[in-house]
């Protein structure tokens, strides 16, 4: 599965939004931490301040009455005094003697004191003057402290237990109000950040989009234009300069390629014209040689043979003339001249220029009238027959079979040889221009045959078997 790719614009946009969100989260976390840290510090200082106030008040009263050592004996008489301190300072506290037995609870009536209940041994055995404790009870979470009280001579006379309950309702309300405002601010910041990120990402990637669009329009056969971008960044400016330099190199390469293509086109045209001119020369030479060998002045049909000989020679000369005319006019090879012809007759004329013993010609009908270009057809048959003969190894007697068959829809012509066949590696190459397996020749024969048959609205296919031969099949559709 292909990995999904994201545009640079999206990446810039996404990165900026992610940066804002992450920054907001970090600030929010730091705010929470700072808020709770300050809240704890505030409550701790408030605890110490209230505790100090109670200590000072106790010391003042006991010092005034010189009753540091008589608290336990006069406990009931001091109960109202201790209770008034709790009311004055609006706090709760408790007093214990140094053995941990309670003197006073501001939150428990005197008659309900449990004298058997003592302080935790850890508090009594501690050598510290003050111990702060975090407590978890049904009433909730609260802080408390255990402080040793000393008289004027520095002798301990009691232990002060001081619980401190925070005003949770006010703290929660304050925190909720603060969070709502903070979220409103962050939401507004996020909206602003999205808008700014959109415009910044568009601004940053606009030059790259311009370069991309221009590169898409760049091509060998297109009018390429250089890119000019004002106020571009250093990186974009470097990219633009590289692109413009590439265009200069491309224009130079296009000029060289155009010259090379023109030269190659002339070379190909020269080869094709040479091949087309040479093509009729071979059958003309064979015709003359055959005529010389079979010439008999006493033959009663000598006049007809001379007429046929002359006709073949004139047709081949006309073909060369048409090729030369087409070349001189910088046009294509001879244009089609579709006429009603007897395909059997003109095929037989093409065969007559070759050795008659090696070619076996047959037709489903003695006369097949078809709309065809006579000159093109002779050229096609001559090329195919010549290739078929050349495909037969020298140690094998050539046997070439030509058969024409007509039906209601098309005309089929088969040229079969007993040659070496076509190797598997060359099967898809035989109709390519300049491909040949011969030591001589330019490899244009079958390419020209295919183009000529295509121009007649037909097709050519083949079946081959190595060392047994090849069958070329031409099908011409009936022209309406």
pLDDT tens profile 317-336: 777 776 666 555 444 555 77
User: What's the mean pLDDT in 2-15?
Assistant: 68
Q: What is the pTM of this model?
A: 0.39
User: What's the mean pLDDT in 126-151?
Assistant: 74
pLDDT in tens, 206-230: 776 777 666 666 665 556 666 666 6
Model confidence band, residue 343 (pLDDT cutoffs 50, 70, 90) = very high
Q: Give the fold, CATH level 3, of 8-173.
A: Beta-Lactamase (3.30.450)
- Using alpha carbons, select from 435, 447, 437 the residue that is nearest to residue 276: 447
pLDDT in tens, 72-95: 655 566 777 778 888 888 888 888
Please determine, for residue 441, whether its predicted confidence score (pLDDT) is greater than 50: no
Task: Report which listed range, 175-189, 211-225, 455-469, is most confident.
Answer: 455-469
User: What's the mean pLDDT in 352-359?
Assistant: 82
Where do the structural domains in the chain lie, given as residue ranges? Answer: 8-173, 267-477
User: What's the mean pLDDT in 174-184?
Assistant: 76
Q: What's residue 69's pLDDT? A: 63
Q: What's residue 43's pLDDT? A: 73
Please determine, for residue 169, whether its predicted confidence score (pLDDT) is greater than 60: no
Handedness of CA 366, 371, 377, 381 (dihedral sign): negative
User: What's the mean pLDDT in 347-370?
Assistant: 88
Q: Give the fold, CATH level 3, of 267-477.
A: Heat Shock Protein 90 (3.30.565)
Q: What's residue 218's pLDDT? A: 67
Model confidence band, residue 265 (pLDDT cutoffs 50, 70, 90) = low
User: What's the mean pLDDT in 383-394?
Assistant: 88
């Amino acid at each position: 599965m292909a990995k999904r790719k994201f545009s640079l614009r999206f990446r810039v946009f996404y990165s900026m939004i992610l940066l804002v969100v992450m920054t907001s989260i970090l600030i929010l976390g730091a705010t929470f931490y700072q808020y709770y840290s300050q809240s704890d510090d505030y409550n701790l200082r408030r605890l110490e301040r209230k505790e100090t106030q109670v200590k000072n008040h106790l010391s003042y009263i006991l010092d005034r009455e010189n009753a540091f050592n008589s608290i336990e004996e006069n406990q009931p008489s001091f109960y109202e005094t201790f209770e008034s301190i709790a009311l004055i300072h609006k706090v709760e506290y408790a007093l214990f003697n140094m053995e941990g037995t309670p003197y006073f609870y501001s939150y428990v009536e005197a008659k309900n004191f449990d004298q058997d209940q003592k302080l935790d041994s850890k508090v009594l055995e501690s050598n510290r003057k003050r111990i702060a404790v975090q407590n978890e009870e049904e009433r909730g979470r609260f802080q408390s402290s255990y402080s040793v009280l000393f008289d004027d001579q520095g002798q301990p006379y009691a232990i002060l237990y001081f619980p401190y309950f925070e005003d949770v309702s006010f703290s929660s309300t304050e925190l909720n109000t603060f969070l709502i405002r903070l979220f409103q601010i962050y939401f507004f910041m996020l909206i602003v950040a999205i808008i700014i990120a959109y415009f910044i990402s568009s601004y940053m990637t606009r030059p790259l989009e311009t370069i991309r669009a221009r590169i898409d329009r760049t091509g060998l056969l297109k009018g390429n234009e250089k890119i000019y971008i004002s106020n571009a960044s250093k990186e974009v400016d470097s990219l633009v300069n590289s692109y413009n330099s590439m265009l200069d190199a491309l224009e130079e390469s296009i000029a060289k390629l155009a010259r090379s293509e023109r030269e190659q086109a002339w070379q190909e045209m020269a080869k094709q014209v040479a091949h087309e001119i040479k093509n009729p020369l071979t059958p003309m030479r064979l015709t003359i040689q055959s005529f010389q060998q079979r010439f008999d002045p006493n033959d009663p049909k000598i006049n007809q043979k001379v007429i046929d000989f002359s006709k073949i020679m004139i047709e081949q000369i006309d073909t060369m003339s048409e090729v030369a005319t087409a070349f001189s006019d910088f046009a294509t090879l001879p244009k089609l001249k579709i006429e009603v012809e007897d395909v059997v007759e003109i095929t037989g004329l093409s065969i007559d220029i070759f050795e008659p013993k090696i070619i076996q010609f047959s037709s489903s009908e003695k006369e097949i009238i078809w709309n065809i270009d006579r000159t093109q057809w002779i050229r096609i048959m001559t090329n195919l027959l010549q290739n078929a003969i050349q495909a037969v190894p020298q140690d094998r007697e050539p046997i070439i079979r030509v058969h024409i068959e007509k039906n209601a829809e098309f005309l089929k012509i088969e040229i079969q040889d007993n040659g070496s066949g076509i190797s598997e590696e060359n099967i898809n190459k035989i109709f390519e221009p300049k491909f040949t397996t011969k030591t001589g020749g330019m490899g244009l024969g079958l390419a020209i045959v295919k183009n000529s048959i295509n121009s007649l609205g037909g097709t050519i296919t083949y079946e081959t078997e190595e060392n047994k031969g090849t069958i070329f099949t031409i099908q011409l559709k009936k022209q309406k």
